[in-house]
Amino acid sequence: MTDKGFRVYGYRWVVLGVFMFINLTIQMLWIAYAPITGPAAQFYGVSDLQIGLFAMSFMIAFIPLSIPVSWAIDTYGFRKTVSLGAIIMGVFGVARGLAGADYTLALISTIGLAISQPFLLNAWTKVPAQWFSIEERATAVGLVTLANLVGTALGMILTPILIESISIPTVQLIYGSLAAFSAVLFVVFARERPPTPPCPPGLEVRALMLEGLKHAFKVKDFLLYLAVSFIGLGLFNGINTWIENIIRPRGFTPTDAGTLGAVMLVGGLFGAVIIPPFSDRQHKRKKFLLLGITLAIPGLIGLTFAAEFWLLLVSAFGLGFFLISTSPIGMQYAAEITFPTPEGTSNGLIQLFGQASVVFVYIMEALKSGDGSFTPALLLAIGLLVLSAAIITRLKDPLLRASSQS
C-alpha cells in the first residue's frame, strides 16, 4: 500500500518470517534441558544446578554482549549482524549434539549458543522499524514474540517425549540441525531495508547509538519500564528454567513439566498475538501493560499453590497469556518513548535488564525449602509482580505521531 510517497512491501513478511524462524530455533536450544533436569543430571552425572546452568548461561552471556551487539545492529544494520549470530547459533547447535555424554563439551557449546542469542533478540524492534509502518510495529514485534514462545514451547513439550526413545545428545543434534537450517534461510532471504521507507521522511532517522544511549537514560518512563522488564523477564526465565523442579515435589513427572511449560507458552502465544493489535489500533501502551501485569498475578498464585494438574494448567495458561502479552507492547513502548534513540539500542537495553535477572533465577533455586519446594521463591515473584503493576501506573503513553502519518 502507498500513502504520501512512502509504502510497505509484501516482502516484509518474508523478512519477518525468516527472522521469526531463527528466534524460534534459538529458544528451543535455550530451554531444551529445563523439562528434563532430573534425567539430564543423571545422564551427565552432575547436579540439578549444573543442568540449570545450561539455561542460565544464556542470561549470563547476554549481560556483557547486549550493548556491543546493539551498537553493531545500529551501525552495520540488522542483516549483517543478525546473520553473524545465526551462523554462530547453527555451528554451536550442531556441536552440542555432537558432544555426546561429555558435560564439559556440551556446556562449552551452550556458551557458544548463548553468545549468539543477543544478535537475534536485540533486533526485535529494528526489523519492524525497517520494514513496517508504525501502526503495524507492535503487531510485528508480537509475531516475533510468538515465534520465540513457539520455540520455547516446542523445546518444553518435545524434549521429554523424545528422550523416551532417543538419547539426549541425539535430541540436541536434531535441534541444532534445525537451527543451522534456519540460519541458512535467514542469510539467503533477509534484506536490510525495502526500496523505499515504510514511514514518512524523518521518522526513519534515528540518532547514533552513543547519543541514543545517553538520551534513553534521561527518559524517566524508560527507566521505570526497565525495572518492569527486569522483573517480568526474571520471572519468565526463572519459571522456565526450574519448571520441572517446581512441580516435582508435588508428584509430577518431567513429561508433566514439559506439558505445563508448553501450556504457559501457548497462553503467551495467544496473548502476544491477540493483545498488541488492540494497543496499535488505540495508540495506547500503558493500559495494556497494566492489564497484562495485573491479570498475570492470579495465574502465578495458582502455579504456586495448585496441587491438581488441571488447575496448574489453567493457571499456567493465564499467567502466560497476560504476562507475555506485555513484552511486544513494552518493546514498542520503549522504542517510542526514547525516540530518536535507535530501536536496536532501546531493544537491547530492555533485553539486557531482562537477562540480568539471571540473579533471580539463581535466587529461586537458593530459596527452595528443605523438601525442594519453590513456594518461597514463587511468593517473592508474586510480590514483585504487584510492584511492577505499581510502577506501570506511573508511566505515560508516548505520542505515537499518528497524526503525521494519516
pLDDT digits (tens, 9 = 90+) for 72-97: 887 888 899 999 999 999 999 999 99
For residue 322, count other CB atoms closer than 10 A to its CB: 23
Phi and psi at 10, nearest 5°, equal -60, -30
Q: Are 196 and 2 in contact (CB under 8 A)?
A: no
d(CA 305, CA 308): 9
Number of Cα atoms under 13 Å in the Cβ half of residue 381: 33
Whether the Cβ atoms of residue 129 and residue 5 lie closer than 8 Å to each other: no
Residue 313: its pLDDT value, please? 92
CA pseudo-torsion sign 205, 211, 213, 219: negative
Q: HSE of 12 in the Cβ direction (CA atoms, 13 Å)? A: 25
- pLDDT score at 5: 56
Please say whether the beta carbons of 120 and 187 come within 8 A: no
d(CA 239, CA 45): 24
- Half-sphere exposure (CA, 13 Å, Cβ side) for 44? 24
**3-state helix, strand and coil shares in percent for the chain, rounded to the nearest 5:** 80, 0, 20
| Domains and their CATH numbers in the chain | 11-192+206-395 (1.20.1250.20)
Alpha carbons 240 and 237: distance in angstroms, whole number: 5
Determine the Cα–Cα distance for residues 330 and 226; give it in Å rounded to an integer: 9
User: Looking at the chain, how many residues does it have?
Assistant: 406
DSSP states of 262-304: HHHHHHHHHHHHHHHHHHHHHT--HHHHHHHHHHHHHHHHHHH
Q: Buried b / exposed e across 355-379, counting CB within 10 Å, b at 16+?
A: bbbbebbbbbbeebeeeebbeebbe
Q: Which three three-digit cell numbers place residue 43? A: 545422564
The reported pLDDT for the residue numbered 17 is 94
Please give the pLDDT value at position 10.
81
Cα(402)–Cα(406) distance, integer angstroms:
6
Residues of the chain with pLDDT under 50: 1-3, 205-208, 401-406
Q: How far apart are CA 317 and CA 77, in angstroms?
A: 37
Q: Which residues contact 400 (CB under 8 A, 6 or more apart)?
A: 134, 283, 336
Give the residue among 208, 174, 151 at the shortest CA–CA distance from 342. Answer: 208
pTM, to two decimals:
0.71
CA 51, CA 237: separation in Å to the nearest integer?
15
Query: Do the beta carbons of residue 354 and residue 272 sit within 8 Å?
Result: no
pLDDT of 390 reads 93
| Enclosing H/E stretch for 136 | helix 134-162
Cα 277 to Cα 298: distance, rounded to the nearest angstrom: 24
Alpha carbon distance 20, 44 (integer Å):
32
